[in-house]
């Protein structure tokens, strides 16, 4: 537990003690007389306030972090559209209030209607900004010229963390969309009782915070147009298919389901596999022979990106960094495998790398 969270929890517990004490005090004063043990009531309410505040403070802090992140990451036009929608909802609630205020509990009903219509108006303003702008001001709602108008981020790709470094390079110039249901799922992981899951969830929240601070990254948090029913993966696929968006994920099952549904998928694992350097026969590579191979005399090493290198006659060079010449390259289900032979027995002490090919004149 971080120091700030520890202090916040005990500060909340202190407020709970004060609140419980005041509640018990006013209860005793309201009862009056000496027939009731006042000290017992005050002690009980104080203890209840302590326990309730101590246990609920993490959830209050998590909700505040979620609200603050969504407030700061939502684009300003969407915020203004949501505010306008809330105002319209309140105006409609006031007009309806003129007709219901004379009914029994009319003022209470008007207050409830105001809350519901304000929330609904804000939600419509946030999720339908493009359509509303096109309706009232004309023009085409779909003005984005990207091949992919936007990309939905899955929980797995957020927790993975590599999306931050990729987005910083500028290769992802389309908006990166996070649905509120995905953000809620990530918050549940961060509040999990399991230490590993909690660490992964907080890592994901830290990644989103860092992405939010990068001015070159277009990160947006969007409300779900329809509440998710069932698994969140199916909800992501339905949303992406309806909007014409792509999905970025590392989840193998979500990858397959989305492609079966005709949704474009960006998979970081496939990107990492494609970005591995290509070695061609006759090229020299530098590799450390780490262990023996299956065949007699073979040695096995790997490049920095994890590509396996089988060195013929490399057993005698165990634990040595050598220069080897590539003889063949094969592609297996587990990845690329390189076969090589020692280059004249030369031994080097330098990091593993693939030497760049020289351009022919």
Q: Domains of the chain: which residue ranges?
A: 1-73, 74-143, 151-274, 284-350
Segment among 146-160, 234-248, 330-344 with least mean pLDDT: 330-344
Contact 152, 234 (CB under 8 A): no
For the whole model, what pTM was predicted?
0.48
pLDDT tens digits, residue range 139-153? Answer: 554 544 446 788 999
Q: Which residue has the tokens 């009980």?
A: 44
CATH code matching the domain that covers 284-350, chosen among 3.40.50.720, 3.30.470.30, 3.40.50.150, 2.40.50.140: 2.40.50.140
- Stretch 313-333: mean pLDDT: 85
| Burial tier of 139 (Cβ tally within 10 Å: 0-12, 13-18, 19+) | exposed
Res. 120: pLDDT tops 50: yes
Token pair of 309 as six digits: 């290198």
In the prediction, which pLDDT does 248 show?
A: 92
Q: Which one, of 15, 45, 18, lies nearest residue 30 by Cα?
A: 45
CATH second-level architecture of 151-274?
A: 3-Layer(aba) Sandwich (3.40)
> pLDDT band at 135, cuts 50/70/90?
confident
Mean residue pLDDT of the chain comes to 80
- Residues 344 and 338: their CA atoms lie apart, in Å, by 18
In the prediction, which pLDDT does 140 show?
A: 54
CB count, 10 Å around CB of 181?
19
| Max avg pLDDT among 218-222, 273-277, 298-302 | 298-302
In the prediction, which pLDDT does 150 show?
A: 86
* Largest pairwise CA distance in the chain: 105
pLDDT tens digits, residue range 32-79? Answer: 655 567 788 888 888 888 888 878 877 777 777 777 776 776 777 888
- What string of H, E and C letters represents the secondary structure of the chain? CCHHHHHHHHHHHHHHHHHHHHHHHHHHHHHCCCCCCHHHHHHHHHHHHHHHHHHHHHHHHHHHHHHHHHHHHCCHHHHHHHHHHHHHHHHHHHHHHHHHCCCCCHHHHHHHHHHHHHHHHHHHHHHCHHHHHHHHHCCCCCCCCCCCCCEEECHHHHHHCHHHHHHHHCCCCCCEEEEHHHHHHHHHHHCCCCHHHHHHHHHHHHHHHHHHHCCCCCEEEECCCCCCCCCHHHHHHHHHHHHCCEEEECCHHHHHHHHHCCCCEEEHHHHHHHCCCCCCCCCEEEEEEEEECCCCCCEEEECCCCCEEEECCCHHHCCCEEEEEEEEEEEECCEEEEEEEEEEEEECCCCCEECCCCCCC
């Amino acid at each position: 537990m971080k120091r700030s969270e520890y202090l916040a929890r005990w500060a909340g517990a202190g407020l709970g003690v004060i609140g419980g004490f005041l509640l018990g005090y006013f209860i005793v004063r309201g009862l009056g007389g000496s027939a009731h043990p006042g000290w017992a009531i005050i002690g009980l309410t104080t203890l209840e306030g302590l326990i309730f505040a101590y246990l609920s403070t993490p959830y209050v802090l998590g909700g505040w972090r979620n609200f603050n992140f969504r407030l700061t990451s939502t684009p300003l036009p969407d915020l203004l559209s949501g505010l306008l929608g809330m105002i319209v909802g309140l105006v409609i609630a006031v007009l309806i209030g003129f007709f219901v205020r004379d009914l029994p509990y009319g003022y209470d009903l008007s207050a409830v209607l105001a809350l519901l219509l304000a929330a609904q108006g804000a939600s419509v303003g946030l999720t339908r900004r493009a359509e509303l702008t096109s309706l009232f001001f004309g023009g085409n709602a779909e003005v984005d010229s990207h091949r992919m108008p936007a990309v939905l981020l899955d929980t797995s790709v957020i927790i993975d963390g590599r999306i931050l470094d990729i987005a910083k390079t500028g290769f992802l110039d389309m908006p990166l969309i996070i649905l509120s249901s995905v953000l809620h799922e990530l918050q549940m992981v961060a509040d999990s009782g399991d230490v590993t899951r909690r660490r992964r969830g907080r890592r994901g929240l830290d990644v989103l915070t860092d992405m939010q601070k990068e001015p070159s990254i277009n990160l947006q948090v969007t409300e779900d147009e329809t509440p998710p029913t069932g698994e969140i993966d199916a909800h992501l696929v339905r949303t992406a298919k309806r909007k014409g968006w792509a999905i970025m994920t590392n989840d193998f099952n979500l990858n397959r389901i989305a492609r079966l549904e005709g949704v474009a998928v960006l998979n970081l694992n496939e990107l990492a596999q494609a970005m591995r350097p290509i070695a061609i026969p006759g090229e020299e590579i530098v590799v450390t022979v780490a262990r023996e191979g299956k065949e007699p005399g073979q040695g096995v090493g790997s490049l920095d990106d994890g590509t396996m290198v089988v060195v013929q006659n490399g057993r005698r060079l165990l634990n040595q960094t050598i220069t080897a010449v590539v003889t063949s390259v094969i592609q297996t289900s587990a990845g690329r495998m390189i076969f090589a032979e020692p280059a004249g027995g030369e031994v080097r002490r330098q990091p593993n790398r693939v030497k760049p090919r020289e351009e022919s004149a």
